[in-house]
Amino acid sequence: MKAIQFNAINALAVEEIPTPQVVRGEALVRVKAAALNHRDVWIKLGQYAGLKFPARPGSDGAGVVESMGPDGDPQWIGREVIINPSFGWGNNPQVQGGHFTILGMPRDGTLAEFIAVPVSQLTVKPAHLSWVEAAALPLAGLTAYRAVFNRAQLKPGEKILISGIGGGVALFALQFAVAHGAEVHVTSSSDDKIARAVTLGAKGGFNYTHPGWAKTAGHAGHSFNVIIDSAGGEGFESLVDLTASGGRIVFFGATRGDPPVLPMRKIFWRQISLLGTTMGSPTDWAAMVDFVARHRITPVVSEVYPLEQAAKAFALMEEGGQFGKIVLTM
């Protein structure tokens, strides 16, 4: 079968490798479509903890169950499924345990024609989604769901600001918050992406490349009950300034690195909660898939490429040119 492999830092290759063997408890899935996450870029650039080469990336996949491991339930064969990329969460709903991993390094990922995964990670594909849309959902949908509902506890009518709206997780957070009846605002480096977010239900947005954007937003009377961020870096202090007293800032990434300053006095005096989050538990996963099916949410797909053109797909994500998920088809 064909699979994407990194043989060293920045050495992406489409390799011909043996189809994986399934062991007891696993299913072999013929992947129809797989999506990229920024995590795959960090792995390609050699900037991911515990990285070993060769690495076979990909956390998002949708496909058809082809066969089962020994004594597996044959009823799974032929089912259309999506894969939960959050492996080994453990028993504590508040935090993942010591055996937690994410699909696609160290375990071989979804950017391949076939993948062997534990049956417990499979969920029937929501019927309203195409293969491409279904592949776009898992990692970003799960991360956004836990951030918005489990960690931020967003309530209908609250004001929420989502930074970097071109990102995969950010767009799911937007769609979930709109469906929940919140007032959504966004930030982006691109006025065009802000305009597209408005067509998805956002009330408005701010271009974070404009100097003083946060001060202007504050002077216009904006303050937010919830802020969802994955950029961190120098801009983080502006997000604190825009948080309402008693508000919550949830973050799951640090694309721009650590904030140089943490304004502690502003945070404690205004009773602001800083909440970290990562991926999600099996309960978050089930609730997310149910929410998406109930609200008939369709993931925003930016571009679709054949597997052989994975290098183009990675280049687009590295330059931040996408609006939504980048999907590869097999």
Q: Which stretch binds ligand NAP (CB under 6 A): 89-97, 168-176, 238-246, 265-273?
A: 168-176
Q: Which is nearer to ligand NAP, 64 or 275 (CB)?
A: 275
Rounded distance, CA 157 to CA 225, Å? 10
| Given 143, 225, 238, 281, the residue binding ligand NAP (CB under 6 A) | 143
Q: Which is nearer to ligand NAP, 218 or 320 (CB)?
A: 320
Phi-psi region of 145 (alpha: psi -120 to 50; beta: other; left: phi over 0): alpha
Cβ atoms of 15 and 2 closer than 8 Å: yes
| Given 27, 169, 184, 310, the residue binding ligand NAP (CB under 6 A) | 169
Rounded distance, CA 186 to CA 168, Å? 13
Q: Which is nearer to ligand NAP, 42 or 305 (CB)?
A: 42
Rounded distance, CA 77 to CA 84, Å? 18
Least distance to ligand NAP from the beta carbon of 35, Å? 9
> For the chain, where are the alpha helices, taking DSSP H only?
38-44, 131-136, 138-145, 168-179, 191-199, 213-219, 236-241, 264-269, 282-294, 310-318
Which x/- pattern, by CB under 6 A, does the window 69-108 give for ligand NAP? Answer: ----------------------------------------
Q: Does 279 bind ligand NAP (CB under 6 A)?
A: yes
Q: Which is nearer to ligand NAP, 68 or 301 (CB)?
A: 301
Q: List the beta bridge partners of residue 117.
A: 27
Which x/- pattern, by CB under 6 A, does the window 303-322 give for ligand NAP? Answer: --------------x--x--
Rounded distance, CA 170 to CA 190, Å? 14
CA dihedral 172, 258, 188, 200 (to 10 degrees): 10
Q: Does 235 bind ligand NAP (CB under 6 A)?
A: yes
Interactions with ligand NAP, residue window 24-63 (CB under 6 A): 37-39, 42
Q: Does 168 bind ligand NAP (CB under 6 A)?
A: yes
Phi-psi region of 296 (alpha: psi -120 to 50; beta: other; left: phi over 0): left
Rounded distance, CA 73 to CA 302, Å? 36
Given the rule CB under 6 A, which residues bind ligand NAP? 37-39, 42, 139-140, 143, 163-170, 187-190, 193, 208, 230-231, 233, 235, 252-253, 255-256, 278-279, 317, 320
